[in-house]
Amino acid sequence: MHVPHQVASPCNDAPSFREASPLETREAAERQKQRDGISETMSLLAESLAPGKRIVHAGDVIYRSGESFDSLCVMNSGLVKIVSLTQDGREQVVGLKFRGDWLGFDGIAHNAYACDAVAMDTGEVWTISYEALLKASTEQPRLLQALHRAMSGEITRDRESLTSVCTLPADARVADFLHYWAESLGKRGLRTDQITLRMTRAEIGNYLGMTLESVSRALSKLAREKIIAFVEKGRRDVRIPDLAGLAAFVERSLAPQAVTLQ
Amino acid sequence: MHVPHQVASPCNDAPSFREASPLETREAAERQKQRDGISETMSLLAESLAPGKRIVHAGDVIYRSGESFDSLCVMNSGLVKIVSLTQDGREQVVGLKFRGDWLGFDGIAHNAYACDAVAMDTGEVWTISYEALLKASTEQPRLLQALHRAMSGEITRDRESLTSVCTLPADARVADFLHYWAESLGKRGLRTDQITLRMTRAEIGNYLGMTLESVSRALSKLAREKIIAFVEKGRRDVRIPDLAGLAAFVERSLAPQAVTLQ
DNA sequence: CGCCACTTTGAATTAGCTCAAATTCCGTGG
DNA sequence: CCACGGAATTTGAGCTAATTCAAAGTGGCG
């Protein structure tokens, strides 16, 4: 149960050194599993459907609300935000998508997309005809399984968003957001100790239901408490020495009454 | 384009009398379509799958988080709340389900339900084996279509919830909630001018991300402004003379700056 | 009838918002 | 290479919407 130490790199982007707890190794194993699952699904899609591949850059619109639906997308790399626009003009970021995530489920019900999908970074998006997917899935049930799991997972994730917004104070929401983002990277085999926020404070605030100033203050507070740190020059790179620290911060904000009453 | 007036009933539960606007008739037509769609799907399920039928009463747990997943449910009647419980003990109502709605999608991804489903009223719930559904759908593609549309619709609805919580002040959130509930009834062929809240103020507040006191104050304000009315004796029955009034209240709360400036 | 859970309303408090100003960063062009 | 300008961010100060705390009111049900 001993994880070998890594060699320190000279610059300040080395992971923090600590013994791995049993919990952490279990979590790491879970991430490994997730990662394998994503790669497996990507291979399956690539082989069974020969999806169209498209490179997108920050700002590119992948699909727009109202466009007629005929295909789903799966992200091979990059980062995408899903934005919903209400009739009365409110704009809401309702989701973030990473490698392996599917886009466009909202289009199935009414044959038209209900949201915009906008790239926030360079990446590759695969396009999969919904018709073709259904057709192929009769001979390859794993395709259907992958589709259903992805939809199911999206429903669960959306509920987590709602729970965060409804039950956490602003500071904790930001901490929870960073935790979610880092975990998302971890599940995809990427480092969890540093993330590059490709969203402005305003976008983060919109996603979390608070103002950009509150996001900024929350980040400053987390940095002050050494739960995160900003990489020198630029406030888009966030260093997270210990993921559990973020989770602990969230918990702490839920039970501030627990003074040492003994 | 003339809708016949109805006879006034002696008690105070008569619908308000107004000419139907083109918008309203379009909305009514939309509701009719929705209603037909729901009934059609229910028939399809009944014929193709002979689902298990179960009567539930208020408080009954239909499934619980953690239970192993093997079947979905479809509501034939009644009202169900979906409750998510986080690891750190936060409880969040993440959805409400009416006739025609499916339950249990969250179970597909990990073969275990991620939420509790609790009946809030007497009703009938149909149980559909997920395996059997997939099997039957190879010969009856409309089953798969119904499943996918239901999942897609749930994703869209969840995003609407998030948008409401993130972008509306408390009062408007309650108004929006009532509007959603009445619309949901309308889509199922029920009257939209009166709803019986089968949730306490605390449950509503939980769902909308606010305290029970704020819910109460918001309802009082809506009643004061005659946008809703409480049916005499008991504050669970809410009369909605005009659905558009609720929508207008929401809009108003978004643009309070629009004074009569030319 | 009386209990208990739910609801309403008021008063005081506060978390988060708005408004404002200063600072940093980054791309562009001289 | 450096100066400049605009966009994003940070931070402070005051304000306000919503919460917390408290008390009274209401209704359902054994």
Average pLDDT over every residue of A15-38: 68
- If pLDDT is split at 50, 70 and 90, which confidence band does B21 have? low
Contacts of B44 (CB under 8 A, 6+ apart): B140, B142, B143, B146
User: Which tens digits make up the pLDDT trace of B60-82?
Assistant: 999 999 999 999 999 999 999 99
- A5 has a pLDDT exceeding 90: no
CA distances from A235 to A16, A22, A210, B100, B240 (A): 20, 33, 19, 48, 49
Give strand pairing partners of B73.
B103, B127
CA of B162 to C1' of C13 (A): 28
Q: Helical H runs in chain B?
A: 22-49, 130-139, 141-167, 170-187, 201-208, 212-224, 243-254
Q: Please tell me the predicted confidence (pLDDT) of residue B260.
A: 45
Average pLDDT over every residue of B6-19: 40
Phi, psi (degrees; rounded to nearest 5) at B102:
-100, 150
User: Which tens digits make up the pLDDT trace of B132-178?
Assistant: 999 999 999 999 999 999 999 999 999 999 999 999 999 999 999 99
Average pLDDT over every residue of B2-6: 39
- If pLDDT is split at 50, 70 and 90, which confidence band does A23 have? low
User: Which tens digits make up the pLDDT trace of A216-245?
Assistant: 999 999 999 999 999 877 788 999 999 999
Residue-wise burial string across B134-167, b where 16 or more C-beta atoms lie within 10 A, e elsewhere? bebbeebeebbebbbbbbbbbbbbbbbbbbbbbb
Q: Which nucleotides along chain D are within 7 A of a protein C-beta? A: 8-13, 17-22, 27-28
User: Which tens digits make up the pLDDT trace of B173-207?
Assistant: 999 999 999 999 999 999 999 999 999 999 999 99
Nearest to A95 by CA among B166, B102, B208, B90: B166
- If pLDDT is split at 50, 70 and 90, which confidence band does B35 have? confident
Closest amino acid to nucleotide C8 (CA–C1'): B216
Q: What six digits make up the tokens of A124? A: 């590759």
Nearest to B95 by CA among A149, A162, A104: A162
User: Which tens digits make up the pLDDT trace of A55-74?
Assistant: 999 999 999 999 999 999 99
Percent of chain A with pLDDT over 90: 80
Is residue B100 a contact partner of residue B75, using CB atoms and an 8 Å limit?
yes
Q: Please tell me the predicted confidence (pLDDT) of residue A35.
A: 75
Percent of chain B with pLDDT over 70: 88
Nearest to B44 by CA among B172, B152, B133, B160: B133
- If pLDDT is split at 50, 70 and 90, which confidence band does B106 have? very high
Q: Which amino acid is at A117?
A: A
Measure B136 CA to nearest chain A CA, in Å: 12
Measure A251 CA to nearest chain B CA, in Å: 7
Chain B residues in contact with A138 (beta carbon < 8 A) = 138
Residues belonging to chain A? 262
Average pLDDT over every residue of A72-94: 96
User: Which tens digits make up the pLDDT trace of A132-186?
Assistant: 999 999 999 999 999 999 999 999 999 999 999 999 999 999 999 999 999 999 9
- B15 has a pLDDT exceeding 80: no
Q: How far apart are CA A239 and CA A219, in angstroms?
A: 11
Nearest to A54 by CA among A98, A119, A116: A119
Q: What six digits make up the tokens of B146? A: 């119904």
Measure A162 CA to nearest chain B CA, in Å: 6
Element (H, E) at A92: strand A91-97
Instruction: Compute the CA torsion angle B49, B55, B61, B62 (nearest 10 deg).
Output: 10
CA of A180 to C1' of D16 (A): 32
pTM, to two decimals:
0.89
Q: Please tell me the predicted confidence (pLDDT) of residue A15.
A: 41
Q: How far apart are CA B83 and CA A172, in angstroms?
A: 21
Chain A residues in contact with B109 (beta carbon < 8 A) = 149, 152-153, 156
Q: How far apart are CA B209 and CA B14, in angstroms?
A: 33
Average pLDDT over every residue of A100-108: 98
Q: How far apart are CA B92 and CA B210, in angstroms?
A: 11
Q: Please tell me the predicted confidence (pLDDT) of residue B1.
A: 40
Average pLDDT over every residue of B6-20: 41
Q: Please tell me the predicted confidence (pLDDT) of residue A257.
A: 55
Helix-then-strand count for chain A, H and E: 7, 11
- If pLDDT is split at 50, 70 and 90, which confidence band does B7 have? very low
Cβ contact B134–A141 (<8 Å): yes
Tracing tokens 């400036």 back to the chain, one arrives at B261
- A40 has a pLDDT exceeding 50: yes
Q: What six digits make up the tokens of B37? A: 């769609």
Q: Which amino acid is at A163?
A: T
Chain B residues in contact with A66 (beta carbon < 8 A) = none
Q: A–B: how many Cβ contacts below 8 A?
A: 123
Q: Please tell me the predicted confidence (pLDDT) of residue B36.
A: 79
User: Which tens digits make up the pLDDT trace of B244-258?
Assistant: 999 999 999 997 654
Considering only CB atoms, B163 lies closest to which of A84, A152, A155, namely A84
Q: Please tell me the predicted confidence (pLDDT) of residue B28.
A: 76
- Restricting to B residues 77-136, those with a Cβ less than 8 Å away from any Cβ of A are 82, 84, 86, 88-90, 92, 94-95, 105-109, 114-115, 134
- Restricting to A residues 210-249, those with a Cβ less than 8 Å away from any Cβ of B are none
Average pLDDT over every residue of A118-143: 96
Q: What six digits make up the tokens of A27? A: 């979590």
- If pLDDT is split at 50, 70 and 90, which confidence band does A19 have? low
Is residue A104 a contact partner of residue A69, using CB atoms and an 8 Å limit?
yes
Q: Please tell me the predicted confidence (pLDDT) of residue B33.
A: 79
Q: Which chain B residue lies closest to A144 (C-alpha atoms)? A: B134
Average pLDDT over every residue of A17-41: 74
Percent of chain B with pLDDT over 90: 80
